[in-house]
Amino acid sequence: MNSILPLLRGASLRTPLKLSSRIVPRAFISTIPTSVADFLNFKPQDAVSDVNINGFVRSVRAQKRYHFVSLGDGSSLESLQAVVPADQAEGLSIGAAVRLHGSWIPSQGRGQSHELQVERAVILGPSDAKTFPLQKKYQTPEYLRTLPHLRPRIPFNSAVLRLRSEIVASLIKFFGSRDFVQTHTPILTSSDCEGAGEVFHVSAGDSARSSTESETPQPFFRRPVYTTVSAQLHLEALAQALGNVWTLSPTFRAEKSDTPRHLSEFYMLEAEISFTDKLGSVMDLVEDMLRHVCTDLTGSRSKNEILTRVGDGSSDLATAEQVSQRWDGLIREAWPRITYTEAIELLKQSEVPFIHRPHWGKDLHTEHEKYIAKKVGNGHSPVFVTHYPRDIKPFYMKTDAGNHDTATPCTTVECFDLLVPDFCEIAGGSMREHRLENLIESMHNHGMTPRITPDDTTEPSETVENNLNWYVDLRRWGCPPHGGFGLGFDRLICYLSGVQTIHDTSAFPRWYGRCDC
Amino acid sequence: MNSILPLLRGASLRTPLKLSSRIVPRAFISTIPTSVADFLNFKPQDAVSDVNINGFVRSVRAQKRYHFVSLGDGSSLESLQAVVPADQAEGLSIGAAVRLHGSWIPSQGRGQSHELQVERAVILGPSDAKTFPLQKKYQTPEYLRTLPHLRPRIPFNSAVLRLRSEIVASLIKFFGSRDFVQTHTPILTSSDCEGAGEVFHVSAGDSARSSTESETPQPFFRRPVYTTVSAQLHLEALAQALGNVWTLSPTFRAEKSDTPRHLSEFYMLEAEISFTDKLGSVMDLVEDMLRHVCTDLTGSRSKNEILTRVGDGSSDLATAEQVSQRWDGLIREAWPRITYTEAIELLKQSEVPFIHRPHWGKDLHTEHEKYIAKKVGNGHSPVFVTHYPRDIKPFYMKTDAGNHDTATPCTTVECFDLLVPDFCEIAGGSMREHRLENLIESMHNHGMTPRITPDDTTEPSETVENNLNWYVDLRRWGCPPHGGFGLGFDRLICYLSGVQTIHDTSAFPRWYGRCDC
């Protein structure tokens, strides 16, 4: 690198290089970056010739002799500047996929340390800029949602998708370090875990004949089949086989709600701890897991990019301060844990007026959860609310044996919701009723009719709830105390990225009335 | 550890310990294992007192003073031996979930280096051994398939599930090291990538009213919606936003075939390389990926356990030699690559008689694939077969520009199938037609009617194929050359575990007529 190499052809394209910027042929450099992100971090003192950079044209500023091209490839929020001689600039329109060949040189302009001095531009995929639906100017989220196939190209959106990828990798590390087995639970199921009935029905049929919903589909499975609302029940079966287990898999709700917090298809992170009788151990796991992920990703490119971008004051995003506090809050030790009964007391004592009056035995409304998250977590820390009334929770939760609230007017269950500031419920978990008799009693109380003996071979009736005999069976033969949780993965991404609605964190969101692409 | 500690209570339960086996209180040991697998590898010279082991009773051999219990917890194929005083053995029946407290001591019996000398046994989840459907004796795969909720408890099955988990973790490492972004592609879609029409229809409705398939479902989305048959098309959109991408996600086929190689719901591993015009780079990726995984897992517990178990001559499994060769074959360098045309020539020259006569232009039958895998891969190495005739492949594959087979009677496409010994096709990939005009022409040739201009706002008709205008749009604005592959993940697990049918590798398999649990 010390020998002064002859200036190559590309070197004199724009302006004479500074003395310190000699051109080093590519062969002399051991590792040349390939992605735009890596080029942005590649800051050699001397120019490097003969490099190729692939990417998409984000914008072009045409001057007489040169066109200044901002190039991105999805690997970074920031663009790379390419200086293209006018005679090489044909077809370099916004959106075009190009291969630029030239020298990577220290930049004399402001805004970037280095830039690509282009010798040759090859248009790999042309773009008709006149019709290209993505524009540099502000476009509303509503409009962009009509373009799910193009919208991920917006640099911030691709940063959110990279964040998702990094979080998945971090989760694998976390659960691996604790010997949890990652499992693939089924999507198609004949069981409805929550019993809420908001399930999608699945049927097969000759698509030529019944391609519209109004025609009668043909039976394919022997019983009614749905897309799963939760992996929990299957995860419990696997926990009895494998020990501690987890899954990150798609779940579905046919809810007709169009809110910033609901999707009809979403990823759920669920884990089940075998051989535990402590609700606290399940909460510890949630806490440790999120702390691990946030610590692991401190300093990651995607996190930093998100913090950079949320700072720009867009109304579609939380503020940079909010997003920073969210990350910090999840890293914080010992999140407050209060019982539902204590929460109701706090709500009753509140001076803030609520639309819905807090009442023991009724579920918490979002306004209540927001208040609790702020009051108990000081607006920074997540808060666990535990031991909800039995009657407002699903049949599988274990009745509370302890004596947490002597003032409790009726029975509670060993469960929790995890509330985070601004966003409220992000996860929920419970101890599962592992005792056969208690489970059967609970199912009866919830209007279900499980079979009592294992040799009762009556075919389950055609209703969803009655196809849970297999779940009851798990208790007949060696069911240890166990508990677990489910975390809305898209909600987590939404929360950590500062995106205001969950429709804009998933690449191809599905909700009521919307399944484009 | 050198001081001779007083013998504790548990030490004299069965027989006097050998002199070398002193009892070390638990507090003196820095890390006591928690899982059965870890205990099996925990071989202290001295006995360790005051340990707890959780698990399930696999078998019991009752003698007058002691019951010998085989204990498993899903972490290992091998059981741990626990010696339980007769007065503590009540409820220790097969399948029971128990916590055993005692001393971990060097064993004087044969078959294990150490064993647990139990002082106290706690039944955490009783098991009625009389009705327990899983028996120690041989039970047919057909019978076990009726018990998907219990079947994973069979030690070999849990080893296969652990292998799956380890392979997933290894894949994450592999793709992470190459800067591929892991994405979550949608399950519900209004597109049918393969155009084969074998899709499941999805609809919502009041489950109380339409819980059987025969009633008319209510519309939920604005258009017909299906469970996806492949993530490829969505992955292509994401590749234009993020660069190289991959996904491991559920896919569905409503095929009424009941073969050892087909499921209605299965995990597909799909990856897309952006900015490549070389089919070879896609094949390299498949090869590197599988080589990485198999190398990474050499020496892993799950692999070793599988090799131990497949050696026992069960007809449900391949032989140990076969399974070893499969792993070795995937680690091998440079898998043979031949063209379809060459394959047809080989088949024609074969002395083996085929049921289906090989014929250029027709798809290869399983018998042909088996022959090729054996002939070209010598029964050990996987084989890529490339450049199939255009007319038997999907619309999105790129027409072959090269001149691989001068004898080719009609046009081929840049694609490959990966054949492995015994099992045949396990993956397939192609270059994608990235040029707008060529794609539209190919769609027309396949009987589809894409819109020609982007401003044609005619609503897509209600057929699946016509909802691919978004896919065509990807070519209008900056589509670089790209290619990718899809690998049947359950097939890979089946292949590497030696399980003879894919119904027995998935925990909750779904196929024609079968969606239990």
Q: Which of B39, B34, B497, B115 is nearest to B300 (CA)?
A: B497
Token pair listed for A286: 């949630």
Residue B114 at interface with chain A, using a CB cutoff of 8 Å = no
**Band of the pLDDT at A467, cuts 50, 70, 90?**
confident
B514 touches chain A (CB under 8 A): yes
Burial A225-260 (b: 16+ CB within 10 A, else e): bbbbbbbbbbbbbbbbbbbbbbbbbbbbbbbeeeee
Please answer yes or no on whether B515 and A188 come within 8 Å at the CB atom: yes
Residue A302: predicted pLDDT: 94
CA torsion angle B26 B31 B35 B41 (round to 10): -100
pLDDT in tens, A106-118: 998 888 999 999 9
> Which site among A39, A477, A503 would you substitute to test the B interface, given the most B Cβ atoms closer than 10 Å to its Cβ?
A477
CB B241 within 8 A of CB A134: no
Cα separation, A197 vs A199, whole angstroms:
5
Segment (H or E) for B227 = strand B225-227
User: Does residue B510 belong to the interface with chain A, where contact is any CB pair within 8 Å?
Assistant: yes
The token pair that represents B340 in the structure block: 């379809």
Residues in B closer than 8 angstroms to A133, CB to CB, are 477
Chain B: nearest CA to A127, how far in angstroms?
A: 4
* Closest Cβ–Cβ partner in A153, A192, A243 for B75: A243
Task: State the average pLDDT over residues A380-389.
Answer: 96
- Tell me the chain B residues in contact with residue A150 when contact means C-beta distances shorter than 8 Å: 237, 473, 477
Contacts within 8 Å (CB) and 24+ apart, A252-259: A252/A199, A252/A200, A252/A227, A252/A228, A252/B187, A252/B188, A253/A196, A253/A198, A253/A199, A253/A229, A254/A198, A254/A199, A254/A200, A254/B204, A254/B205, A254/B220, A255/A198, A255/A512, A256/A512, A256/B220, A257/A512, A258/A511, A258/A512, A258/A513
Q: Is pLDDT above 90 for B277?
A: yes
User: Are the Cβ atoms of B517 and A252 closer than 8 angstroms?
Assistant: no
Q: Which residues 6+ apart lie within 8 Å of B138 measured at CB?
A: none
Residue entry with tokens 């009677």: B409
Confidence of residue B14 (pLDDT cuts 50, 70, 90): very low
Taking 80 as the threshold, does the pLDDT of residue B464 lie above it? no
Per-residue pLDDT band at A197 (split at 50, 70, 90): low
- Residue type (1 letter), B451: R
Are B213 and A197 in contact (CB < 8 Å)? no
CA closest to B435 among chain A residues? A125
Q: Is A242 within 8 Å of B150 when comparing Cβ atoms?
A: no
Put simply, whether A40 touches B (Cβ < 8 Å) is no
Round to whole Å and give the CA distance between B366 and B393. 17
Query: In what helix (H) or strand (E) does residue B120 lie, and over which residues does it extend?
Result: strand B114-125
**Residue range B120-139, pLDDT digits in tens:** 999 999 999 999 999 888 89
> What is the pLDDT confidence band of residue A212, given thresholds at 50, 70 and 90?
very low
CB of A185 less than 8 A from some CB of B: yes
Average pLDDT, rounded, for chain A: 88
Q: Residue B157 pLDDT > 90, yes or no?
A: yes
Between chain A and chain B, the number of residue pairs with CB atoms below 8 A apart is 371
Taking the CB of residue B34, how many other CB atoms lie within 10 A of it?
17
pLDDT at residue number B462: 46
Both structure tokens of B210: 């339409």
d(CA A73, CA A51): 16
Confidence at residue B335, expressed as pLDDT on a 0 to 100 scale: 96
Rounded Cα distance between B100 and B69, Å, is 10
The minimal CB distance from B188 to the residues A189, A463, A515 is found for A515
Name residue, tokens 């990485």: B292
Q: Does B232 touch chain A (CB under 8 A)?
A: no
Q: What is the pLDDT of residues B85-106, one digit of tens each?
A: 999 999 999 999 999 999 999 9
Of A132, A179, A213, nearest to B35 by CB-CB distance is A179
Distance CA B66, CA B109 (A): 13
- Which residues of A are less than 8 Å from B252 in CB distance? 187-188
Residue of B128, B133, B243 lying closest to A74 (CB–CB)? B243
- CB contacts of B473 in chain A (<8 Å) are 149-150
A382 has pLDDT over 70: yes
- Tell me which DSSP letter residue A14 carries: S
Indicate the average pLDDT of chain B: 88
Q: So what's the pLDDT on residue B242?
A: 97
Contact B238, A152 (CB under 8 A): yes
The DSSP output letter for B393 is S
Whether pTM > 0.90 for this model: the answer is: yes
The distance of A328 to chain B (nearest Cα, Å) reads: 25
Question: Does residue A414 have a pLDDT over 80?
Answer: yes
Nearest Cβ partner for A217 among B201, B242, B464: B201
Q: Closest Cα of chain B to A365: distance in Å?
A: 25
pLDDT at B428 exceeding the cut of 80: yes
Comparison of pLDDT for B131 and A312, the residue scoring more: B131
- Please determine, for residue B55, whether its predicted confidence score (pLDDT) is greater than 90: yes
CA-to-CA distance for A469 and A482, rounded, in angstroms? 19
Give the chain A residue whose CA is nearest to the CA of B151: A241
pLDDT computed for residue B56 by the predictor: 98
Q: Does residue A29 surpass a pLDDT of 50?
A: yes
From the list A128, A207, A512, the residue facing B199 with the nearest CB is: A207
User: To the nearest whole percent, how much of chain B has pLDDT over 90?
Assistant: 73
- Best B166, B275, B462, B472 member to test A by mutation, with max A CBs in 10 Å, is B275
Position A13 scores a pLDDT of 38
Contacts of B516 in chain A (CB under 8 A): 190, 470
- From the CB of residue B223, how many other CB atoms can be counted at a distance below 10 Å? 17
A432–B contact, CB cutoff 8 A = no
HEC sequence for A127-144: ECCCCCCCCCCCCCHHHH
Q: What residues of A are in contact with residue B33 (Cβ under 8 Å)? A: none
Query: With bands split at pLDDT 50, 70 and 90, how would you rate the model's confidence at A213?
Result: very low
Name the minimum distance, in Å, from the CA of B375 to any CA of chain A. 36
Interface check for B73 against chain A (CB to CB < 8 A): the answer is: yes
Q: Report CB contact under 8 Å: B188, A252.
A: yes
Set of chain B residues whose Cβ sits within 8 Å of the Cβ of A213: 201, 203, 216-217, 219, 224
Specify which of A13-22, B212-221, B303-312 reaches the highest per-range mean pLDDT. B303-312
Q: How confident is the model at residue B213 (pLDDT cuts 50, 70, 90)?
A: very low
Return the closest-CA partner of residue B136 out of B96, B100, B83, B95. Answer: B95
Residue B360 touches partner A, C-beta closer than 8 Å: no
| pLDDT tens-digit readout, A322-370 | 999 999 999 998 899 999 999 999 999 999 899 999 999 999 999 999 9
pLDDT at B17 over 70: no
CA of B194 vs chain A CAs: smallest distance (Å): 13
Query: Residue B75 and residue A204: Cβ atoms within 8 Å?
Result: no
Can you tell me the distance from the alpha carbon of B468 to that of B463, in angstroms, rounded to the nearest whole number? Answer: 10
Q: Is the predicted pLDDT of residue A158 greater than 70, yes or no?
A: yes
Name the residue type at position A464. V
User: A86 is written with which tokens?
Assistant: 């006018």
Chain A partners of B512 at a C-beta cutoff of 8 Å?
Answer: 220
Using a CB-CB cut-off of 8 Å, the residues of chain B touching A473 are 149-150
Per-residue pLDDT tens for A251-283? 999 998 888 889 999 999 999 999 999 999 999
Contacts of B99 in chain A (CB under 8 A): 275
> Above pLDDT 90, what percent of chain A?
72
B205 part of contact set with chain A, CB < 8 Å: yes
Cβ–Cβ below 8 Å for A149 and B455: no
Cβ of A211 within 8 Å of Cβ of B125? The answer is no
